[in-house]
Chains A and B, each alone.
Chain A
Amino acid sequence: DTAVSQTPKYLVTQMGNDKSIKCEQNLGHDTMYWYKQDSKKFLKIMFSYNNKELIINETVPNRFSPKSPDKAHLNLHINSLELGDSAVYFCASRSRLAPLHFGNGTRLTVT
């Protein structure tokens, strides 16, 4: 049973396209996140979201938008994809008393 699951695992697309990555957690956590890991393995937080509040990293372009249909899901929509968006995107979740759990990532390649 995967605690935090992301789809797709791989995503190859052309510049200018719009794409989405889905994330679901079955841990009952109240906060979910999106992280971006670049080619040098650096992990950078993009968004954190719970039922009450969306926190956006100010450096994230507004082409990126999180959408949460319910507490267990946080999807990532990306508009007008650029070459520099190529990276591995990780969804994660936690609750107040639980550590951060990551999904296995979505490798996005923009050509």
Chain B
Amino acid sequence: QQQVKQSPQSLIVQKGGISIINCAYENTAFDYFPWYQQFPGKGPALLIAIRPDVSEKKEGRFTISFNKSAKQFSLHIMDSQPGDSATYFCAALAVSGSARQLTFGSGTQLTVLP
């Protein structure tokens, strides 16, 4: 059962364009929503995160939009650059028993063309 659904699977954007990746979740116990960026040969690294008490968080060119009622959140990359080409994972965190476990979306392969 996939608790966090991510789309699209792949995305190609021209340099300077806006990249948008969407995620939806089912479990209302999720209370922390990070995005991870993964370059080839590297582990995922935290990019930006949001809690459900705010609808938007911006850090530089990266913005998370969060819709609690729709149980959806998205990552917007403004002025996309070739260096942004990577795989992006949305995730959600909830208390599960006595441990907090991060559930990942299926990933989006972003390619930014020069």
Contacts and interface: CB of A to CB of B under 8 A. Distances in A.
Interface in B30-85: 34, 38, 41-46, 49
Interface residues of B, number: 22
Contacts of B29: none
Nearest to A6: B43
Nearest to A91: B43
A44 B105 CA distance: 10
B106 interface: yes
Contacts, number: 50
B87 A45 contact: no
- Identify the interface centre among B44, B98, B101: most chain A CB within 10 Å of its CB: B44
Contacts of B87: 41
A48 B46 contact: no
Interface string A47-72: 01010110100000000000000000
Contact of B106 (A40, A48, A92, A104): A40
A100 B46 contact: yes
Given A42-B107, A99-B49, A105 B43 contact: yes
